[in-house]
């Protein structure tokens, strides 16, 4: 089938772009061995170092080693992130883990998974919320005790303690809010500190301008009375798009969000025939169709190489269609005696004015660790009752399976 060949060509184009080769920056990663010495080399980049159990390290001499938290004191990445090995408070039997040092000074802020910790020379405490049951006029209710506020007040106590109280009272357990609170403390006390995530944005926002092509395959809905055999002159259309992509979330590094707006317009011809007892219908309609397309996707990064990352996405596509009929004629022939033929002009094709349809996609983000790059995506979308054919007082509804291939520039 023609549509099968077109789909195969689109998939080939999608995967063919994976061989693109780009240059790479020199790494400045390092580990800190048990003697406290830094050894420089390359650490294979992971999606989320907040949950990593070991690091694959290649020294500048080419020696490959896997390091677990028990093997080293910590490690650092070229982007400024630092990690140290230590026990989780009250869970020392579980062994060491890699904590990220978000901010360091006389009082440091650390994280592991989605938990935050505060540390000085004497204490290493978790910043948490405790849920406890309380009696309220005979009813047992669960209340949240923001224990972390008391621990922040205690650990950050000093001449500026009063200034901090208002800030702490409005601080929630998020990395951004905690960093903001620590900055108030250090700037007020005029104590030096180091913010190790300063070079890392909370999220990267990029514009993606692209162009691609749609391929469509249709089939009859289950609630239609009868199928009307028909064929379109072409089942593919080009389109252009402009969107925004939010990725490289600091706390959710595997997830990304993208949306945008696309436009497609094309002319086409539909031809059909319908046979009834002693009657024959044939019809032709020339039309122009334009569509505004708004995709909304949540993506999950599945695999990453040194230069590129691969992801799949799930979401929905909102389509707004405008159909302009240019010429339509129906040939109705009665085959019993006396044979009669009647020609009349009547539109036989109707597209839904708007549709909200589910979609999935596969994508490649080239040069993921640079500000500019290339995005390549293959998308599959299901549109229910996209168009209707009305001939001889019979209405048939058709679903569409739309495959598309897009390549664009991430700016």
Q: Evaluate whether 332 touches 344 at the Cβ level (below 8 Å).
A: yes
Tell me, what's the pLDDT at 33? 93
H-type helices in 215-326, by residue range?
none
Select from 279, 285, 271 the least CA-distant residue to 341.
Answer: 279
Q: What is the pLDDT of residues 106-154, one digit of tens each?
A: 999 999 988 999 999 989 999 988 766 565 565 655 656 788 899 998 8
Neighbours of 175 (CB within 10 A): 18
Cβ atoms within 10 Å, residue 256: 24
Alpha carbon distance 135, 6 (integer Å): 67
Q: Which residues contact 241 (CB under 8 A, 6 or more apart)?
A: 208, 209, 210, 211, 212, 260, 261, 262, 263, 293, 295, 406, 408
pLDDT at position 314:
98
- Six token digits for residue 29: 């990663």
Q: Which of 120, 123, 141, 119 is nearest to 132 (CA)?
A: 141
Structure tokens at 349: 């094709």
At residue 90, the pLDDT reads: 76
| pLDDT score at 20 | 41
**Euclidean distance between CA atoms 174 and 116, whole angstroms:** 8
Chain CA centroid to CA 166, Å: 37
Residue 16 in 3-state DSSP?
A: helix
Among candidates 37, 107, 124, which has minimal Cα distance to 73?
Answer: 37
Residue 29 backbone dihedrals phi, psi, to 5 degrees: -70, 160
pLDDT at 140: 56
Task: Output the pLDDT for position 26.
Answer: 45
Q: What is the pLDDT along the chain (411 residues), one digit of tens a residue?
A: 554 554 555 555 555 554 443 333 444 899 999 999 999 999 887 767 778 889 999 988 889 999 999 999 999 988 888 999 999 887 765 789 999 999 999 999 999 988 999 999 989 999 988 766 565 565 655 656 788 899 998 898 878 767 788 889 889 888 889 999 999 999 988 989 999 987 777 788 999 999 999 999 999 998 887 788 999 999 999 999 999 999 988 778 889 999 999 999 999 999 999 888 888 999 999 999 999 999 999 999 998 877 889 999 999 999 999 999 999 999 988 878 788 888 999 999 999 999 999 999 999 999 887 888 999 999 999 999 999 999 887 889 999 999 999 999 999
Between strands 124-127 and 115-119, the pairing is antiparallel
Q: What do you get for the CA distance between the two ends of the chain, in Å?
A: 38
Q: Using an 8 Å Cβ cutoff, are 208 and 408 in contact?
A: yes
With a CB cutoff of 8 Å and minimum separation 6, the contacts of 339 are 333
What angle in degrees, to the nearest 10, is found between the helix axes of 147-155 and 161-169?
160
Q: What are phi and psi for residue 354, nearest 5 degrees?
A: -155, 150
Query: What is the C-alpha separation between 33 and 29, in angstroms, rounded?
Result: 13
Find the helix or strand (DSSP H, E) in which 188 lies: helix 175-189
**Residue 19 confidence (pLDDT):** 41
As a dihedral over the C-alpha atoms of residue 395, residue 401, residue 407, residue 408, rounded to 10 degrees, the angle is: 60
Structure-block tokens of residue 64 = 């490959």
CA–CA distance, 221 with 235 (Å, rounded to integer):
19
């Amino acid at each position: 089938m023609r549509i099968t060949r077109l789909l195969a060509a689109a998939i080939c184009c999608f995967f063919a772009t994976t061989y693109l080769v780009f240059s790479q920056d020199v790494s400045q990663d390092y580990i800190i061995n048990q003697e406290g010495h830094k050894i420089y080399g390359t650490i294979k980049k992971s999606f989320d170092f907040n949950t990593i159990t070991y690091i694959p390290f290649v020294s500048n001499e080419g020696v490959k080693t896997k390091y677990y938290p028990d093997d080293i004191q910590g490690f650092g990445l070229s982007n400024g992130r630092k990690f140290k090995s230590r026990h989780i408070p009250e869970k020392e039997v579980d062994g060491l883990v890699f904590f990220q040092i978000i901010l360091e000074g006389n009082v440091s802020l650390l994280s592991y998974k989605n938990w935050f910790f505060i540390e000085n020379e004497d204490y290493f405490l978790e910043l948490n919320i405790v849920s406890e049951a309380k009696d309220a006029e005979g009813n047992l209710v669960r209340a949240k005790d923001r224990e972390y506020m008391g621990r922040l007040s205690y650990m950050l106590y000093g001449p500026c303690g009063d200034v901090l109280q208002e800030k702490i009272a409005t601080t929630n357990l998020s990395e951004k809010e905690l960093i903001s609170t620590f900055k108030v403390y250090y700037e007020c006390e005029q104590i030096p500190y180091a913010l190790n995530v300063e070079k890392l944005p909370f999220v990267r926002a990029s514009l993606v301008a692209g162009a691609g092509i749609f391929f469509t395959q249709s089939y009859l809905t289950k609630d239609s009375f009868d199928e009307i055999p028909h064929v379109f002159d072409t089942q593919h259309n080009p389109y252009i798009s402009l969107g925004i992509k939010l990725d490289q979330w600091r706390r959710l590094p595997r997830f990304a969000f993208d949306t945008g707006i696309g436009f497609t317009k094309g002319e086409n011809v539909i031809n059909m025939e319908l046979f009834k007892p002693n009657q024959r219908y044939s019809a032709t309609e020339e039309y122009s169709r334009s569509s505004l397309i708004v995709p909304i996707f949540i993506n999950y990064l599945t695999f990453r190489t040194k230069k590129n990352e691969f992801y799949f996405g799930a979401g929905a596509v909102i389509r707004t269609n405008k159909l302009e009929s240019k010429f339509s004629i129906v040939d109705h022939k009665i085959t019993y005696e006396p044979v009669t033929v009647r020609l009349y002009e009547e539109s036989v094709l109707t597209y839904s004015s708007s549709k909200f349809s589910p979609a999935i996609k596969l994508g490649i983000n080239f040069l993921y660790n640079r500000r500019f790059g290339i995005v390549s995506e293959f998308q599959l979308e299901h549109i229910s009752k996209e168009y209707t054919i009305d001939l001889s007082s019979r209405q048939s509804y058709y679903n569409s399976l739309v495959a598309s291939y897009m390549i664009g520039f991430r700016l």
